Structure 1
Amino acid sequence: MAALLLGIDTAFGRCSAGLYDMDAGRMLARAEPETGKGHAEQLFGIIDAVLAEAGASYGSLGRLAVTVGPGSFTGLRVGVSAARGLALTLGIPAIGVTTLETLAAAYAASHDAVLSILDAKRGEVYAALYGRDAMLLNGPAALAPKELSEFIVPAARARSLALVGTGGAIAGSALPDRDVVLLSETAAVDIAVLCRLAAGRDAVEAPRPLYLRGADAKPAAAAGLFAMTGESAPQSP
């Protein structure tokens, strides 16, 4: 039987699931609807549909992958809680991957330096800097745009700096002396990229939401999901 990986992403407006054949290195089925809110109510229906499309079942899964943030507080808790709960129930590993890495990885093979950056509001951005083949050079971090010049120093030798994410225009304005290429201004995670990244790494610990800063108020946890204690809430980007 093929080694199957189920990828889950609820970090932003999409409620996504995808099934990946780790032996063949290809997607078997995927669904990435723009749902806005309501991830908790829709996620398992989407997962069920993806499994059915591929003729697979929960029992045939060998690994799970989930985006851990930064992103929407409620969305992250829904996805991470679902992945942890399934991993515990099925006795399989779950791999957490940051949204910043997933956004950058789609372009890292063709650029020497990629700055994955999200508009975090309140005068800040969430950023992570990657080299060729998505090698992490700095971050992830929450910082003010004026701090980006120092943040990208590890990529100083790169001819140009590729920008991806909703904070791309902010970074371009904050780096007037840097040769930048704006590739994408969205926060839409490609579920296939998430699956590919998770398939190539080992599970070290259970995934946890990546919160780069606290929020003004703490929303209630999504009802009926796997509990995660001791975590502060972020402001959604």
Structure 2
Amino acid sequence: MLLLALDTATPAVTVALHDGRDVIASSSQVDARRHGELLLPAVDRVLADAGLRLDAVTGVVVGVGPGPYTGLRVGLMTADTFGLALGVPVHGLCTLDGLAHAAGFDGGPFVVATDARRKEVYWATYADSRTRLTEPAVDRPADIAERVAGLPAVGAGALLYPDTFPDAHDPQHGSAAALAELAVERLAAGQELPAPRPLYLRRPDAQVPKNYKVVTPK
């Protein structure tokens, strides 16, 4: 097995290779505006670090969000393209699940919250680093304060809103290495991974202007 993992659902452009036993190469760069520019060079870099070629890859796993439209689209389209070109399966995994796995909290329930912009967070609660308790959602931090009270939290969204998440910790962004580890565990256990379809949870930030003037030929 050689699993290529990538995630662009958060400001991090993150890529990793997993050989079925360990993560053998990984790369992460934080730049919310350059996902499309940074992703393919990051793939080239991890392959070079591992001394392997792209055609050695036997499967792809991609973070499906939740996340902003543009960032998610870059990762998902790249994963689909690799799958088609190589003739290998492409799997999806929730980005919040990858963050939970990277956090490694196994002493009780906790929250993962990423920055959803618009003064909102994408979030879910977990029993441990491998078990999600609630479906991913997007909300204003103040609106969920009672539901997450007393729980430790990880992610950039938690760190941004200390009033709601007073016990907040790193990691802040998505981790392809953790995503790959989680995918390998679940595949080895015979679990079927989700399809690589985006988890947007809300409409794109970009909107058609309300007073858009239609120009027709004379």
Which range, TM-score by smaller chain? 0.7 to 0.9
- Seen in structure 2, the aligned counterparts of structure 1 residues 205 and 189 have a Cα distance that, compared at 3 Å, is closer
- Seen in structure 2, the aligned counterparts of structure 1 residues 215 and 44 have a Cα distance that, compared at 3 Å, is closer
- Seen in structure 2, the aligned counterparts of structure 1 residues 189 and 170 have a Cα distance that, compared at 3 Å, is closer
In the other structure, the counterpart of 2:172 is: 187
In the other structure, the counterpart of 1:212 is: 201
2:35 to 25, 39, 53: 39
The letter for the 1-side match of 2:136 is P
Question: 5 Å matches for 1:53-202?
Answer: 53-149=49-145, 151-152=147-148, 161-169=151-159, 172-174=162-164, 181-184=167-170, 187-201=172-186, 202=191
Q: Which runs of 5+ in 1 are unaligned?
A: 154-159, 220-237
Q: Which runs of 5+ in 2 are unaligned?
A: 209-218
Count of residues in Structure 1 that have an aligned counterpart in Structure 2: 204
- Residue identity (%): 35
Runs of 4+ in 1 over 3 A off after TM superposition: 149-153, 169-172, 202-206
In the other structure, the counterpart of 2:47 is: 51
Tell me how far 1:200 sits from its aligned partner.
2.3
Question: What is the rounded CA distance, in whole Å, between the counterparts of 2:115 and 2:32 in structure 1?
Answer: 17
Contact between 1:102 and 1:189, CA under 8 Å: does it hold in 2? yes
Question: What is the rounded CA distance, in whole Å, between the counterparts of 2:158 and 2:145 in structure 1?
Answer: 14
Tell me how far 1:29 sits from its aligned partner.
1.4
Contact between 1:108 and 1:114, CA under 8 Å: does it hold in 2? no
- The reply on whether 1:21 has 2:33 as its aligned counterpart is no
Q: Secondary structure of 1:173's partner?
A: coil
The letter for the 2-side match of 1:116 is V
Contact between 2:102 and 2:129, CA under 8 Å: does it hold in 1? no
Please tell me the root mean square deviation across aligned C-alpha atoms, in Å.
2.5
Question: Could you state the TM-score of these two structures normalised by the residue count of structure 2?
Answer: 0.81
